[in-house]
Chain A
């Protein structure tokens, strides 16, 4: 049986300045974006993105594919702190990538940006997040991204 995807929430994550450094052995580079805040809305989780709780250290592969490597915090509206570790992939045709790298607005249908987050959560109403395979898609903007998350049920 094919599993179903159930929309759970959207996280708008605001970022500070973007850094990019390297290349390292193998030709790959890394970036860094500090998470400066944001909001979480949706049927299964509401809350805020904890300001300055971490960030993303994307691994920029020599073939142009970006592998996400992010850790930061959410705070649910009931106060529960939730750690998110986000992995995922982003790639696009060269012309789209050029527009993204110069921070022009690009429609998310023009690139592939999919993620599989992991969560650490204490026992209670949000613990299911740490026991569920979740996938997401992102709409990237200059100073924030919108992440749409779906539980694999």
Chain B
């Protein structure tokens, strides 16, 4: 057995644009969109900001209300380094709670499974290159006009 641990790396508060939701596609899921309008990054391993209007999330949304995330946008570390975030993950839970989320209501995060595994692209000569050598997981918490993502390095 190999023991695996989680070490808090940083937490992002991401401001979001108006949401879009298209109808079901021939693949059986709908697609949505929400753009990033900015935000902050704090924590022991990274501090900085979300670069506004550099992308967003294009989630896959299923009939049962569950979603698979597929987001790309840029972060800017406090030293100026640009970091491309590719966020993937899952959100599911009781249908009425998921429907409430989709209506824009706040829902107790304990009722929802919202977990992520992000990847990062970082310049090779930056002090943040460790982010390309580490597997991460994250926890999401969706609020009305922003989301909070807490990331952990898998040790």
Residues of A within 8 A of B (CB): 1-3, 5, 7, 10, 63, 65, 87-89, 91, 108, 112, 114-116, 131-133, 135-139, 148, 150, 152
Contact = CB atoms under 8 A, between A and B. Distances in A.
B149 interface: no
A148 B139 contact: no
Counting from the closest, the 10 A-B pairs by CB-CB distance are A133-B115, A114-B135, A137-B2, A116-B117, A114-B154, A152-B115, A135-B154, A152-B137, A137-B4, A148-B2
Interface string B90-122: 101000000000000000000001011101000
B133 A89 contact: yes
Given A2-B8, A65-B132, A116-B117, A135 B2 contact: no
Interface in B54-86: 66
17 contacts: A3-B139, A7-B1, A65-B132, A89-B132, A89-B133, A112-B133, A114-B134, A116-B117, A116-B135, A116-B137, A131-B66, A131-B113, A133-B137, A135-B135, A136-B4, A148-B1, A152-B115
A89 B117 CA distance: 13
B52 to A, nearest CB: 27
Contacts of A132: 90, 113, 115
Interface residues of B, number: 25
A2 B134 CA distance: 18
Interface of B: 1-6, 8, 66, 89-90, 92, 113, 115-117, 119, 124, 132-135, 137, 139, 152, 154
Nearest to B117: A116
A115 B119 CA distance: 12
A88 B119 CA distance: 10
A3 B152 contact: yes
Contact of A131 (B1, B2, B90, B135): B90
A131 B98 CA distance: 15
Nearest to B5: A5
Nearest to A115: B135
Given A114-B134, A135-B4, 19 more contacts: A2-B8, A3-B137, A3-B139, A87-B119, A89-B133, A89-B134, A108-B2, A112-B133, A112-B134, A114-B135, A116-B117, A131-B90, A132-B90, A133-B89, A133-B90, A133-B115, A133-B116, A133-B137, A135-B154
